[in-house]
Structure 1
Amino acid sequence: MIAFNAAPPQGTVRDWLDQQASTRGDQIAYRFTDGAADLSWASLRDVAHARAQGLTALGMTKGESLAVMMPNGRAALETLFAGLCGGFRVTMINLAAGNDAITYALKHCEARFACVGADQQVQFAATCPDGLRPLPENLDLMAQVPLHPLSSADDALLMYTSGTTGQPKGVVHSHSSLLAGGWTTARAHALTEHDCGYCVLPICHINGLCVSVMGCLISGGQLLLAPKFSNSQFWSDIEAQAVTWFSVVPTIISHLLHGSQDPSAAAKSQLRFGRSASSALAPEVQTAFESRFGVPIIETMGMTETAAQMLSNPLPPAARKIGSPGVAMGNEITILRPDLSVADDHEQGEIAIRGPNVMKEYLKNPDATRASFTPDGWLLSGDLGHRDEDGYVFVTGRLKELIIKGGENIAPREVDEALYAHADVIEAAAFAQPCATYGERVVAAVTLCAGSTVTSADLIDICTHRLGAFKAPDTVYVLKDLPKGPSGKIQRKKLADMMATRALGD
């Protein structure tokens, strides 16, 4: 097997788990904040193989979908590795997606069997299509049968996109691309067997699964897995469990920044870095976080289609560029014009990626798969941005989220960043609303820290000063919470729909 920092991983997830178990044996691999017993490499291999044999004895064929409806925890992790070791297409169901989206995913993936958590039984019953049944609890006690032969090109993971512009698309990753997702993380952040990561993001999302779980598998280190993010437990968990790095999203960074707790000296001394992904991190928030807590934040960028990471800033003391998710590490990045020619430095275009971590396809959707790739194999991200002379990419927004006011494109991100300039703003999101004069107008919504006296008019004035009156929002709604996906990423379309309905009601 090839060292993770030399070249993309070869083999399958089963190969890597078997090697880690043979090499590290009783060393702890995964730990849990909910009180579940630790999992050593050897014990994880043993339970994964036993349950994979049970699935095979049930008649599951190689490559068929195995639906997983379970929250973060030991059971979900064991199920994930059992499915991967058995040669099945593990289909992680987003428990927060809503019943319609869950029903669609369960039907579309054509799974015959589902692993369902105790607290998800009611939700499963409400979303289960005909022909899908829950698995028995005694899988590891069933017939011991040979496992299916596996290759690196075989299907490993099926994960559905959020479906904000239509039906969710099922992203298929092979063993090769899934392992590469962990490898790009390990390579960018120099992860070793001495590191312990902290995962508070759901592993039904690509960030939690590839960055944290697969990053641990590739590096041979440890991972502390939490059921979910807890502002009150975050720093104490890091200190108590000797965590050296964590992966979160910008909304979590903002909530920590506005929280009352600080990391202890011991926690700060052991932490190498924190990692931010899934959406843009406002420069003011990053700077304030690092100034207060003394923990460097490495901004990155990824997609479900790229097994998470596609860009990353380097670790200190190398140059990090605030406002950029970094440079390509482990894959190639280019900026393309609308005619698919390569843009010059500092010229805006669509960000495209090519590399070992790119998906195989969208399940049962050849048209969408074909439309997502250029003839020479670049995956189109749907994100606009430019690259500077040092290779750092700067993202200006999503193509589908651009606000087109009077024929001028306005990126919601620049409005977000202007709003985050006020210290009381915890969450912010700009979006378009219809306008009889300009076609679309700029609107935004924020959440504020407790006791804040800042007004919507104050925030509009800040935006006007920083961006000019044309780009400043006409209205800023102050809400208790903004709608977010499973990773904590604010969902602009859902927010826009929600506020449009509210405007009609008014």
Structure 2
Amino acid sequence: MLSYSRGPEGELWELTIAQVLDRAVEHWGDSLALVSCHQSKRYTWRELRDAADALARGLVSLGVRRGDRVGLWSTNCAEWVLVHLACARAGAELVNVNPAYRTHELAFTLQKSRMKVLFLWERDSRAEYAQILDEARSGKQLSLEHAIFFGTDCWKELLTAQAGIRAAVMPTDVANIQYTSGTTGQPKGVMLTHRNQVNNGKLLAWGMRYTERDRICVPVPLYHCFGCVIGTMSALASGAAMILPNWTFHPQATLQAVQAERATSLYGVPAMFIAELGLPDFKSYDLSSLRTGMMAGAPCPVEVMKRVMCEMRCAELTIGYGQTESAPVVTMSAPDDPMEVRVSTIGRALPCTEMKIVSVLDGETVPAGEQGEVCARGYMVMKGYDDEPEATARVIDAEGWLHTGDLGMMREDGYIHLTGRAKDMIIRGGENVYPREVEEFLYTHPKVAEAQVVGIPDERLGEVVVAWIRLKAKEESTEDEIRKFCEGKIAYFKIPQYVRFVEQFPMTVTGKIQKFRIREIEITDRGLAKVAEQETA
């Protein structure tokens, strides 16, 4: 038997995001749709649709037309959801900008995406966004015509614009561009269509058995696929309400939101659940309303999964697997799968989804139980990388299979065990970090001759970033100097937690650097052998 499986048959919607919003209003118009706890804002489905449509008219008044790019650089808030839905109505392509981005990354994104409008806050507790934007724009020819700051008169005027919305948006149009770092060292824009996102949300809602009576607590970032699809789209498809606990993840705020809003579902990467379980007053929260949730974004430690299911009362907790390029989920465990299955596999194919495991040597499908690269095919595969046909062709083959770069084994019943990553990607607390991107940045330091970046295990975050650096002749530096050089220029999660200065790197006889040896040395020297051996789902 070969490592191939197909999910159950299912009906795909040929609808745009705005049409699904209209459907939600038709079915559940006066029911709760969105709560932003930290802003004390609440919307019914009808109120949410009306506010999003008002903003869509504002976008049209700015000259935004079908296919134009609109950027959104913000942490979680009600405005994030409004901009997302307004872009869908107006036919604009929403460009998610990570709020941790600083001048170096923002400048690249502004130029690469060719966005026409950018929505943002002037500042928050982490950054002066207006100042960073000014620095990123300085001296560059950009497509950006308007920077709209939330809460200002300009923002309020957009909500009262009278322009008509005439965009003939199609389900196959690009709805969203999300930047994901690549092995080339520069982020690539993943183009996701309305059809991709609508149906992934619909099928996730089906898999998690959501109804309009559910309330989904979403502490994960909305700029991630986890937040804007598994969060927003699954709520839109099912009528479930979406609960935003805070601007950014805060374990106390998350559990307070679950308790106050009687959430029935809780999302998170493993590091978030670990932080929640580790609160000194964890047992004081009333989590009895929870029945389900999803853990995704990083490998899940088995013991954490068991604790969430038992101590947080998420008896129907599921594991989801995928990537931004697959909009994002391709496999998930079922709420009634045995615990052993849920803690040891990534589930099996969602409806309308094909999965297979292929040999990394010849690309042929391997027998069940043998290791190979995990591949997926179906409605959810991205349209491609923006303006990068060659990069697209490297991950989507001629038959439409998306090659994930992850290694796994498929059981005869279709459940898949992940066994490793073919790519070098580091997952730090649910944030993807590609070593090459960090290495390329470190090379801009005037003292650095060579840099190699790896991930090492961490009990709280899953992995952290380590840099080995060879300095130029007669130069001296310190770990603190390197870290300060990174601060404000690359996202905090990409900054190396540890820096080691070396004269040479471990090499093969043919002169290739052995990154696995760097990782082994770090694990040994830092006493992390037990953490590295920890069993994960």
SS of residue paired to 1:300: strand
Does 1 or 2 have the higher relative contact order (CA < 8 Å, sep 6+)? 2
Kindly provide the amino acid, as one letter, of the partner of residue 330 in structure 2: M
- 2-structure distance, mates of 1:350, 1:40: 44
SS of residue paired to 1:194: coil
2:160 matches 1:126: no
- Which residue of structure 1 aligns with residue 395 of structure 2? 372
- Which residue of structure 1 aligns with residue 355 of structure 2? 333
Q: Give 2:343's match in structure 1, choosing from 298, 303, 322.
A: 322
SS of residue paired to 1:7: coil
- Say if 1:369 and 1:465 are closer, same or farther in 2 by CA, change over 3 A: closer
- 1-structure distance, mates of 2:424, 2:248: 28
Kindly provide the amino acid, as one letter, of the partner of residue 429 in structure 1: E
- Which residue of structure 2 aligns with residue 307 of structure 1? 327
Q: CA deviation at 1:317?
A: 5.4
Q: CA deviation at 1:402?
A: 8.9
- Which residue of structure 1 aligns with residue 479 of structure 2? none
SS of residue paired to 2:281: coil
Q: CA deviation at 1:301?
A: 1.0
Q: CA deviation at 1:140?
A: 2.5
SS of residue paired to 2:343: coil
Q: Give 2:372's match in structure 1, choosing from 322, 325, 349.
A: 349
- Which residue of structure 1 aligns with residue 216 of structure 2? 197
2:301 matches 1:282: yes
- Which residue of structure 2 aligns with residue 359 of structure 1? 382
- Which residue of structure 1 aligns with residue 413 of structure 2? 390
SS of residue paired to 1:280: coil
- Which residue of structure 2 aligns with residue 452 of structure 1? none
- Which residue of structure 1 aligns with residue 506 of structure 2? 435
SS of residue paired to 2:275: helix
- 2-structure distance, mates of 1:166, 1:276: 28
Alpha-carbon displacement from aligned partner over 1:291-344 (angstroms, at most 9, x marks no partner)? 444434322112111112111111025563422111111222111113221111
Q: CA deviation at 1:59?
A: 1.9
TM-score by length of 2: 0.75
Kindly provide the amino acid, as one letter, of the partner of residue 383 in structure 1: D
- Say if 1:106 and 1:360 are closer, same or farther in 2 by CA, change over 3 A: same
Kindly provide the amino acid, as one letter, of the partner of residue 326 in structure 1: G
- 1-structure distance, mates of 2:532, 2:58: 62
Q: Is the 8 A contact 2:56 2:165 kept in 1?
A: no
2:71 matches 1:71: no
Q: Which moved more, 1:64-73 or 1:295-304?
A: 295-304
Q: Is the 8 A contact 1:71 1:117 kept in 2?
A: no
- 2-structure distance, mates of 1:103, 1:87: 25
- Which residue of structure 2 aligns with residue 249 of structure 1? 269
SS of residue paired to 2:210: coil
SS of residue paired to 1:401: coil
- Which residue of structure 2 aligns with residue 258 of structure 1? 278
Alpha-carbon displacement from aligned partner over 1:355-404 (angstroms, at most 9, x marks no partner)? 1121111100011111111221100111111111121111122212299x
- 2-structure distance, mates of 1:175, 1:102: 25
2:314 matches 1:295: yes
- 1-structure distance, mates of 2:195, 2:117: 24
Q: CA deviation at 1:265?
A: 7.6
- 2-structure distance, mates of 1:263, 1:215: 29
- 1-structure distance, mates of 2:194, 2:255: 34
- Say if 1:179 and 1:463 are closer, same or farther in 2 by CA, change over 3 A: closer
SS of residue paired to 2:460: strand
- 1-structure distance, mates of 2:69, 2:239: 28
- Say if 1:125 and 1:385 are closer, same or farther in 2 by CA, change over 3 A: same
- Which residue of structure 2 aligns with residue 451 of structure 1? none
Written as runs of structure 1 = structure 2, the 5 A alignment for 1:88-237 is 88-119=92-123, 120-128=129-137, 129=140, 130-132=142-144, 133-135=146-148, 136-137=154-155, 138-163=157-182, 165-226=184-245, 227-237=247-257
Q: Is the 8 A contact 2:34 2:241 kept in 1?
A: yes
- Which residue of structure 2 aligns with residue 496 of structure 1? none
SS of residue paired to 1:100: helix
Alpha-carbon displacement from aligned partner over 1:40-90 (angstroms, at most 9, x marks no partner)? 111111121122122123222211111111221111111111111110001
Q: CA deviation at 1:290?
A: 3.5
Kindly provide the amino acid, as one letter, of the partner of residue 357 in structure 2: I
- Which residue of structure 2 aligns with residue 19 of structure 1? 23
Q: CA deviation at 1:225?
A: 1.1
- Which residue of structure 2 aligns with residue 426 of structure 1? 460
- Say if 1:126 and 1:445 are closer, same or farther in 2 by CA, change over 3 A: farther
- Which residue of structure 1 aligns with residue 404 of structure 2? 381
- Which residue of structure 2 aligns with residue 492 of structure 1? none
Kindly provide the amino acid, as one letter, of the partner of residue 310 in structure 1: V
- 2-structure distance, mates of 1:229, 1:327: 29
SS of residue paired to 2:251: coil
- 2-structure distance, mates of 1:315, 1:328: 14
Kindly provide the amino acid, as one letter, of the partner of residue 280 in structure 2: S
Number of aligned positions between the proteins: 436
- 1-structure distance, mates of 2:301, 2:47: 42
- Say if 1:165 and 1:288 are closer, same or farther in 2 by CA, change over 3 A: farther
- Say if 1:163 and 1:98 are closer, same or farther in 2 by CA, change over 3 A: farther
Written as runs of structure 1 = structure 2, the 5 A alignment for 1:80-95 is 80-95=84-99
Written as runs of structure 1 = structure 2, the 5 A alignment for 1:29-68 is 29-68=33-72
- 2-structure distance, mates of 1:443, 1:431: 14
- Say if 1:163 and 1:436 are closer, same or farther in 2 by CA, change over 3 A: closer
SS of residue paired to 2:39: coil
- 2-structure distance, mates of 1:364, 1:289: 42
- 2-structure distance, mates of 1:111, 1:43: 28
Q: Which moved more, 1:271-280 or 1:117-126?
A: 117-126
- Which residue of structure 1 aligns with residue 499 of structure 2? none
TM-score by length of 1: 0.80
- 1-structure distance, mates of 2:337, 2:400: 34
SS of residue paired to 2:409: strand
Q: CA deviation at 1:165?
A: 4.7
- 2-structure distance, mates of 1:19, 1:167: 39
- 1-structure distance, mates of 2:534, 2:167: 60
- 2-structure distance, mates of 1:97, 1:76: 17
Gaps of 5+ in 1: 404-411, 420-424, 447-454, 468-506
- Which residue of structure 2 aligns with residue 491 of structure 1? none
- Say if 1:353 and 1:27 are closer, same or farther in 2 by CA, change over 3 A: same
- Say if 1:463 and 1:83 are closer, same or farther in 2 by CA, change over 3 A: closer
SS of residue paired to 1:146: coil
Gaps of 5+ in 2: 1-8, 124-128, 149-153, 427-453, 469-504
- Say if 1:56 and 1:105 are closer, same or farther in 2 by CA, change over 3 A: same
SS of residue paired to 1:213: helix
Q: Is the 8 A contact 1:401 1:431 kept in 2?
A: no
Kindly provide the amino acid, as one letter, of the partner of residue 21 in structure 1: V
- 1-structure distance, mates of 2:73, 2:178: 12
Q: Is the 8 A contact 1:95 1:102 kept in 2?
A: no
Alpha-carbon displacement from aligned partner over 1:74-114 (angstroms, at most 9, x marks no partner)? 11111111111110001111111332222111111111211
Q: CA deviation at 1:194?
A: 0.9
Q: Is the 8 A contact 2:111 2:143 kept in 1?
A: no
